[in-house]
Structure formats: structure tokens, C-alpha cells
């Protein structure tokens, strides 16, 4: 019993000997060093060295007469005070870490952007896909475009996209969704409504034509391409690349599919003028994919 309580006290930051002395004082009531020594089997000189620390921790009081008497503060009150101190220290540390993080991010953002080399990465696990999503969506500035079907759209992992789409809407990033399926329009509407952001620039279209599907374009600088391989949750493994030749192939494909006569709007809270916007080279493309 005694040993168990001593070990529990060490969780509060006590050394083993501090815990033994404090426990002895609690159990004895007002007491003197001699009795504490007999109860704990510790030398008097060691106890004299330990008492100032316990007093500083707000756990005991002692009289000014000699030899002085020692009394423990209420256990509940004393240990609750220790918990409060630890909580304040933890909160202060978290605040300090958050401040450091903001300062580092600010400093890194001020660095000149380096031209990225073309890279290809195969993402074969849900964790790898989510890590890449977090990285890519944190850097997005202009537009995100997703082309998929109802099967993928209804997968559990897609609820993360609803959160990301809402985040994009809050930062005024455009988003478009093209759903390739022969399913009824009602089913398409239900799926879109589940992931549509409550505000912002978002448009969804439905097409029953057999076109490329399962890819995503971010800021016209990277593309995510679904493969036949599946992750542990059944989501397609992803080929990610920032190779501009490949990115432009998919941008051009999206432009044609989006503007196809059989592509129908199923959802739009777009703030832009219709879905066609003039871009620098004089060609026309959907406003949702202008980067």
C-alpha cells in the first residue's frame, strides 16, 4: 500500500525519498524530523535537505520554534495545485511552440520559390495519400479540379475532401468537380451535396460520356492520377506528378470534358461569370480550372 502510494506520488514529480517523507508527514499529522526519520528509515540530514523542496512545492508548512513541527497541506488541495501548475506549464509550452511554428512558416514563405524538378511518386497507402493531400492543399492558391465517378465519391475517405473543399472555399480558391457516371441524376446530386462546401467558388458537373476519370489537378502545377491498385481501405493508389507535360495533357482533357455538350451542371455556388474565362494565351477554358 505504502509503496503503491509512493509510486503514484512520483507521477506528480516527486523523487522516491520526497514521496516517502511527504507520505510520512500526511500520515503522522503535525510531526518532527525524528519521527519522519524513524518512519521512513532515512537519515535526519537527508530529511532536512528534502524539506525545503516540499515547502517550496506548497506541500508542507513548518513552525518557527525549535525543534520545529512539520505539517502537510491537505493532499487534495496540494496535489490539485501541482496539477494546475503543470497545466499552465503545458499551455505555455504549446503557446510557445505555436508561436515558433508561425514564425518559421512566415520565414520560409518569404524565401524565393525554387523551380521544382519533375517528380513522380506512387502513393500506395491511405496515410501516404493523406500526407500528400495535406501538403498539396496547404500550398494551393488558385484552383483544384477533381474528375471521378460515384463509386469513389461515396467512399468513406472522401469525407476528407469535403473538409478540404470547405477550407479552400474559406481561402477563396476555386474548385470544380466532374462526375463521370451513367447513374441517375438524383444519385449524383446526393453525392455532390454531401461534399459541397457551404460557401465559396465551387461548381460540379455530371457527364455520362466515357472520358478519362479519377484524376485531380491542383493549381495547374500537379496532377493526381488514380491507378488500378488499391490501398488498405479500397481507395485507388495514386500516381502523383508535377511533370508539366503530363499536367498540361490532363488540363487539356479536362477543358474538353468540362465544355462537352453532355456535361451538365448539377451544383454551383460559383462567384465567377459563367464557366468560360479568357486566359493569357487567348484560348477559352472553364473558369474553375484557370490557374
Residue 226 phi/psi, 5-degree rounding, is -70, 145
Q: What is the CATH number of the domain that holds 8?
A: 1.10.10.10
Question: Which candidate, 153, 158, 152, 196, places its Cα nearest to that of 175?
Answer: 196
Whether residue 54 sits in one domain with residue 181: no
Q: Which residues contact 273 (CB under 8 A, 6 or more apart)?
A: 287
Locate cell 513552525: which residue? 63
Q: What is the CA radius of gyration of the chain?
A: 32
- Specify the pLDDT at position 166: 80
Instruction: Give the residues of the chain that fall short of pLDDT 70.
Output: 1, 111-116, 157, 270-291
Q: Which helix (H) or strand (E) holds 217?
A: strand 215-218
Is 43 contained in some domain? yes
Helix then strand then coil, in percent of the chain rounded to 5, is 50, 20, 30
- Specify the pLDDT at position 116: 65
Is 88 contained in some domain? no
Whether residue 244 sits in one domain with residue 183: yes
In terms of residue numbers, what domain contains 67?
Answer: 2-73
- Specify the pLDDT at position 284: 32
Is 198 contained in some domain? yes
Question: What residues form DSSP beta bridges with 178?
Answer: 147, 205
Whether residue 162 sits in one domain with residue 30: no
207, 260 contact by CB (below 8 A): yes
Question: Per the structure, how many domains does the chain have?
Answer: 2
| 3-class secondary structure, 19 | helix
Amino acid at each position: 500500500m505504502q509503496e503503491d502510494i509512493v509510486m503514484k506520488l512520483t507521477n506528480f514529480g516527486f523523487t522516491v525519498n520526497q514521496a516517502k517523507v511527504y507520505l510520512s508527514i500526511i500520515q503522522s499529522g503535525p510531526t518532527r524530523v525524528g519521527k519522519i526519520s524513524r518512519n521512513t528509515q532515512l537519515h535526519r540530514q537527508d530529511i532536512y535537505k528534502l524539506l525545503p523542496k516540499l515547502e517550496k512545492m506548497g506541500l508542507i508548512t513548518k513552525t518557527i520554534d525549535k525543534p520545529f513541527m512539520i505539517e502537510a497541506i491537505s493532499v487534495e488541495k496540494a496535489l490539485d495545485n501541482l496539477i494546475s501548475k503543470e497545466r499552465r506549464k503545458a499551455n505555455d509550452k504549446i503557446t510557445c511552440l505555436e508561436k515558433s511554428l508561425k514564425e518559421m512558416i512566415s520565414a520560409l514563405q518569404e524565401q524565393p520559390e525554387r523551380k521544382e524538378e519533375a517528380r513522380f511518386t506512387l502513393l500506395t497507402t491511405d496515410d501516404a495519400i493523406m500526407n500528400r493531400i495535406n501538403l498539396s492543399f496547404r500550398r494551393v492558391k488558385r484552383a483544384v479540379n477533381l474528375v471521378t465517378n460515384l463509386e469513389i465519391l461515396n467512399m468513406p475517405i472522401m469525407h476528407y475532401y469535403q473538409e478540404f473543399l470547405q477550407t479552400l472555399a474559406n481561402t477563396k480558391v476555386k474548385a470544380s468537380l466532374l462526375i463521370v457516371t451513367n447513374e441517375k441524376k438524383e444519385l449524383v446530386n446526393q453525392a455532390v451535396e454531401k461534399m459541397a462546401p457551404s460557401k465559396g467558388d465551387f461548381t460540379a458537373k455530371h457527364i455520362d460520356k466515357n472520358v478519362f476519370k479519377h484524376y485531380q489537378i491542383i493549381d495547374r502545377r500537379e496532377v493526381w492520377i488514380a491507378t488500378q491498385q488499391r490501398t488498405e481501405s479500397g481507395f485507388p493508389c495514386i500516381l502523383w506528378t508535377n511533370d508539366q507535360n503530363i499536367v498540361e495533357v490532363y488540363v487539356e482533357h479536362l477543358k474538353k470534358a468540362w465544355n462537352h455538350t453532355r456535361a451538365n451542371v448539377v451544383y454551383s455556388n460559383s462567384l465567377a461569370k459563367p464557366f468560360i474565362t479568357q486566359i493569357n494565351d487567348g484560348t477559352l477554358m472553364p473558369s474553375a480550372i484557370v490557374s
